[in-house]
Structure 1
Amino acid sequence: MDSTAVPLVIAFLGIVGTLVSGLMTQRLAEMAKSKELDHSDRQRAEERQYERKRALAEVVRACYVKLNTASLGYHSELNHFWHALRAGRVTDDVLAAVDKVHRGLNRMYGVLKRLDSGIPPHREGESLEQVHTQIVAFWNQLAEMRQIMRRSIGAPPPILVIPTEDKL
């Protein structure tokens, strides 16, 4: 190489190096930005998943509170019923109505527990949809039991209130 070519090669390499370093810097910045965006996406997905789990846990907790409250009320009513039986204030008609209601409630609860445990239905009418229909229709049995109880103590007939499905 002659003496004029060396400075040209050095200048050319300097220009190419400057251009390549700019491109490499831009490419490295794009890669860093892409990693940052991926990390943000993963973090948002984890936050959404955590929020869904928290919301589900809250729904379950609220259900447990209601179930516990109802169970305590049921226990209290059994105690009152026991006292009424002991005092001889309950008639056979009332006992038959109460027995019918309790058997129905226990049967529906048993089906729901089996379905919740993953056990397939044993008989016709044991799907979630069918149990819901039975729960809605069960209101009539409860009303009949209350009427028998009211007649037993001489109370006037109640004003009928038929619940809508969203109130059950």
Structure 2
Amino acid sequence: MNTTALIRPAWTPATIALMVIGFMVFWPLGFAMLAYILWGDRLDGFKRDVNRATDGIFKGCRKASYRASANVGTGNVAFDDWREKELARLDEERNRLEEAREAFEEYARELRRAKDQDEFDRFMAERNRSNAPAAASKRGGKSTPGLLDE
């Protein structure tokens, strides 16, 4: 999102004023503005998910209309054969590109998961390292490794 926009999902003077005016005019408008301020940054992901879902739903409709229009011939057998082959090749190319996109999304998802796991492991190591001297002094100098200290 454009961070220089006057009305953006953040606590800016403009959004606060719109929220207050919304509550004064009609209270659901105020709540709508409050929801936009709090959760508006998630709208892009929500819109992307909705678009992907509707694309999946209407994919069959597009294929059916595409096939219906492909069945109309020009009367020239050679041209119609060439057209069929080209349309089949384009379908294969589209499927290949869709598979590549899905593979990349899976790769990016795994990369984010690995990064999150690395950050979590680093956090736990720092936490255990900072808790180790305090735990050792409580037990009289004895230190046992583990997350669940008694």
- With the shorter chain as reference, the TM-score category is 0.3 to 0.5
Instruction: Give the alignment's TM-score, normalised by structure 2.
Output: 0.41
Higher relative contact order (CA 8 A, sep 6+): 1
Instruction: Give the alignment's TM-score, normalised by structure 1.
Output: 0.37
